[in-house]
Structure 1
């Protein structure tokens, strides 16, 4: 073991508000945990995008996998504490261990208890304090705390929708590239609950005149395709949007438990899969950025960085509760993982159009009717990326110069929602959950036409001409108001797929400006409402 002093990720660790302690977890019960390790060398030079996945992956592992010396020290540590090794995956920087509650408590300096998260609600194993990280090589210890970490970002229409669309109709309005269908692409879809029924999918795609796409359910940490619950709406929405907009793509649906361990392992497994190498990944789950433990969020970010480095474009829903992200402190918040600078954060609009003509598109904000609003704002964790330096991102609370959310947008209002099928019923569903698979399907079709994967697409999108986006200039999401150019409601705007292809085919052009202590200028972006108060109350 290293002689370096052990550290605890004490910043930002708290039990859920209102959680009630029920008693200690049985000392002889066993738990499986995942140690996430640092890279042997930092990410630096991009991998060759034109290389095959196997070549890119081998290069990545050689440069950025776990250091064998780190692995051996931690194996020795685990043996000293009576823990059993379940698996070691150096490419994913993970060491999976199993042990009794008593052994795990001693190894990581925690007290594990049973908690009721809400009155009469779910019970789970939680830690009363942050795990002590036993070695500088360990980024996080995942799986000791089993509380749910994310919510699905879909909204089922409560009122009668003013209009509804099939996903292909939305694709037509957004001018998805003609002559493309996602051939040769794999879209990974991350799910933390729910499931799908094959008969429903067959019925749905047949109604659209399409063959049911190739769909594989992948189990992560014991998660499985388990239809019959509320999260089925998320799963079916994701599959039906991806499968109808990129019908020739392969869909790999990763089912994992809704824990920090499950979420990390699902993303990491999808990013590194050699049997089904993904070129796009859709994530419609998340939670307020400041509600995550520091170590869990740091580990998640490394998995998302891996995906981007390996050529996977990750699209993430930015949330459905406006600028508050569902928090009740009266302050703006952003959702994670949408706030990660390694992903395309997806905001929401209210879309009205027919055929290929859009007659109106504004910020999605239906909070007056309890129909939700697009998430968006400024990170208080992740610094402003270089590719956003000229976007006019305002400072976050306290003056932090943070990453702006979202990057792009698409139809999300449930009152102009998507006609889908869930558990034998036809439903109309919206939410930024619909925008993540919409953009994942667009990325798959762009990749097909370009002949290579976009990977970390943010810099290219921010360099592209404003003509490849439909700028959304009307509406607000609470604290932020839409305006010309990037804004914290709908980012750069909604896509013109064919124009976007033309801009990407033309090449990157001039490199983005370097960020050297730049203080963001508001430019055309309208700042938060005076005093930081919400214009409305999402």
Structure 2
């Protein structure tokens, strides 16, 4: 049974984690609380870390005034506050709340004295970067580094909490990079063919040598819109002949379904807003692929070179081959994110920021880059942990970056995950981090039926039940076996944030809690995610006959997050304001109104035909019935707020004008 990560909760303004100072210990040192991963158990240890191996890490620094920063963040995002949307500049945030120059110098001096090579300090003074040998890390932080088996990977971690000199106990928030916990973050996209519990394939090559991802195509028959074609040749499922799954919706179909075409007629298409997309690595063909995709599927809205920029962190040197991860798998994530964001908001600028490596993914560095320099108005993040078992000091580091984003008026969106309630993987229900963090907007997923005229026929929660047709029989029977769905549930890490009070039912907020406490519930809002009613994407892939561009249907909350980011970019241009952290407005102004489409359960299923080998019919076809909004989970789509779709999905112009 998985052990839950236990952290010290504070009833701060948002109900989240605060910067707990390092705790005093013997010999003039102080522990960094909860900096030891729960999964780094002696029974899971497989080897010691070689003393000469290189470790790159970042020492995050406490804010000077954590409570003041949280109060200011609530004020600029609360529509009832006189400071509503009076955002601070990055310089104002740094000068008012960031660690002082003296604190930065003290930490740098300690690290330098311990023999580490020091790197740059970001403009917001969030952390100090350093690198050195594993032996130096062990001596500096008074730990022993080992390699542990966790969730199919072998990851580095310390044997106990890290510690620092007692004189720095008030300065250090946490350390990212000594352990490899953030390697547990994964892209939240799926083609819906494989089971969500299938392990990630490891690549032998590093980020600069990884080939395009393995090729995938959709087999026919499929429909140009929901209900266009019905399977009349295969046996009925539950007494009904099912419609074939859509081939993949185009940008125009999604703009129509979510009412963005109405905003376009008013001159609002996202222009004036920059959407940043944060992932790991960088696809070498991304601009060519996204341009070709727009040319084929949305020719009136090309992705111009002036609209697209990239900032790619250089690969971390010295990675050991066994520790390298699926770089090419992240190429597909980037491609989906860019094409979806541009497809929904064709006038917006796109900034792609790629993390440096797969040792710890460096996603915190990439995210902080955008926030520290206010490089974008919206940030879409389509990745997360399986559950919330990230060490608490690393959680607090991510939380601090998102808090600064709120102060600056940057909206940070995270996909809620693709494994439903996570019971199948973890044995107990849990939302995924980072979507569960209180200062971000968690985007859940839906199954979306778009009709011939582009209108939304219905929308329900994305939780898939799969029954495979074998020798004329569907196995297993209705409602099938769980095959992926939107993440959600009640956090064990974070208390109930102010914006969810009075809106989220107590029956949900008190789950996973003790003594009547209430927790943060995920998600906040939702958008299309089901790969069985998914989005058409185009990407250079590796096929048996070579590497070239092709198109296929895809989904996951990796689709929902950039799609909703596109909706908000259009809202920015329509309302002539950057909306920033949208949660207080979502819950206080748009909930219980027609601006939000209350996503509810719909009884439905589609028929899907796939190539067994994912490429062609040479190995045969696989036919399956896919039940929409699979019922056998601990999270459910219901009337009102629910833990699959949150408040619901955006409802065209009423939503765009009210937010």
**Do the structures match in fold with TM over 0.5?**
yes
The verdict on how the C-alpha distance between 1:17 and 1:357 changes in structure 2, with shifts beyond 3 A counting, is farther
Q: Would you say 1:68 and 2:166 are equivalent positions?
A: no
Q: Would you say 1:351 and 2:448 are equivalent positions?
A: yes
Structure 1 SS opposite 2:160: coil
* Structure with the larger RCO, 1 or 2 (CA within 8 Å, 6+ apart): 2
Aligned residue runs from structure 1 range 362-511, under 5 A: 362-369=460-467, 371-393=483-505, 394=508, 395-399=510-514, 400-423=517-540, 424-465=549-590, 466-474=593-601, 475=629, 476=631, 478-504=633-659
Q: Would you say 1:229 and 2:253 are equivalent positions?
A: no
Structure 2 SS opposite 1:367: strand
Structure 2 SS opposite 1:391: coil
2:124 matched residue in structure 1 = 91
1:272 matched residue in structure 2 = 372
* Displacement of 1:327: 2.6
Structure 2 SS opposite 1:467: coil
The verdict on how the C-alpha distance between 1:27 and 1:108 changes in structure 2, with shifts beyond 3 A counting, is same
Aligned residue runs from structure 1 range 95-174, under 5 A: 95-114=128-147, 123-134=154-165, 135-147=169-181, 148-158=183-193, 162-163=245-246, 164-174=248-258
2:123–2:372: 8 Å Cα contact kept in structure 1?
no
Aligned residue runs from structure 1 range 295-310, under 5 A: 295-310=393-408
The verdict on how the C-alpha distance between 1:315 and 1:414 changes in structure 2, with shifts beyond 3 A counting, is same
Post-superposition CA distance 1:317-366 (Å, at most 9, x none): 1111111265331x211011111111111111111122342222111111
* Displacement of 1:232: 2.1
1:375–1:489: 8 Å Cα contact kept in structure 2?
yes
* Displacement of 1:220: 3.0
2:32–2:173: 8 Å Cα contact kept in structure 1?
no
Over 6 Å off, 4+ runs: 16-20, 48-51
* Displacement of 1:502: 2.2
Q: Would you say 1:45 and 2:72 are equivalent positions?
A: yes
One of 326, 342, 351 as aligned partner of 1:243: 342
* Displacement of 1:20: 6.2
1:313–1:455: 8 Å Cα contact kept in structure 2?
yes
Q: Distance in 2 between matches of 1:4 and 1:110?
A: 16
Q: Distance in 2 between matches of 1:3 and 1:461?
A: 38
What's the C-alpha RMSD, in Å, of the aligned pairs?
A: 2.8
Q: Distance in 2 between matches of 1:306 and 1:481?
A: 33
Q: Distance in 2 between matches of 1:293 and 1:383?
A: 17
Q: TM-score, normalised by structure 2?
A: 0.70
2:40–2:158: 8 Å Cα contact kept in structure 1?
no
Structure 2 SS opposite 1:139: strand
* Displacement of 1:485: 1.4
Q: Distance in 1 between matches of 2:426 and 2:589?
A: 37
| Larger-Rg structure | 2
* Displacement of 1:290: 2.7
1:88–1:94: 8 Å Cα contact kept in structure 2?
yes
The verdict on how the C-alpha distance between 1:360 and 1:303 changes in structure 2, with shifts beyond 3 A counting, is same
Structure 2 SS opposite 1:14: coil
The verdict on how the C-alpha distance between 1:419 and 1:3 changes in structure 2, with shifts beyond 3 A counting, is closer
1:196–1:236: 8 Å Cα contact kept in structure 2?
no
2:112 matched residue in structure 1 = 79
1:34 matched residue in structure 2 = 58
1:327–1:333: 8 Å Cα contact kept in structure 2?
no
Count of aligned pairs: 495
* Displacement of 1:270: 1.3
Q: Distance in 1 between matches of 2:316 and 2:553?
A: 27
Aligned residue runs from structure 1 range 496-535, under 5 A: 496-504=651-659
The verdict on how the C-alpha distance between 1:33 and 1:392 changes in structure 2, with shifts beyond 3 A counting, is closer
Structure 1 SS opposite 2:37: coil
* Displacement of 1:240: 0.4
Q: TM-score, normalised by structure 1?
A: 0.85
The verdict on how the C-alpha distance between 1:386 and 1:20 changes in structure 2, with shifts beyond 3 A counting, is closer
Post-superposition CA distance 1:479-513 (Å, at most 9, x none): 12222211111111111131112213xxxxxxxxx
1:37–1:137: 8 Å Cα contact kept in structure 2?
yes
1:289–1:333: 8 Å Cα contact kept in structure 2?
yes
User: Gaps spanning 5+ residues in structure 1: where?
Assistant: 505-538
Q: Distance in 2 between matches of 1:247 and 1:57?
A: 28
* Displacement of 1:219: 1.9
Q: Distance in 2 between matches of 1:289 and 1:24?
A: 27
1:530 matched residue in structure 2 = none
2:270 matched residue in structure 1 = 182
* Displacement of 1:104: 1.3
Q: Distance in 2 between matches of 1:20 and 1:194?
A: 33
Q: Distance in 1 between matches of 2:400 and 2:632?
A: 30
The verdict on how the C-alpha distance between 1:193 and 1:376 changes in structure 2, with shifts beyond 3 A counting, is same
The verdict on how the C-alpha distance between 1:231 and 1:326 changes in structure 2, with shifts beyond 3 A counting, is farther
Range that drifts further, 60-69 or 106-115: 106-115
* Displacement of 1:114: 4.3
The verdict on how the C-alpha distance between 1:323 and 1:428 changes in structure 2, with shifts beyond 3 A counting, is same
Structure 2 SS opposite 1:140: strand
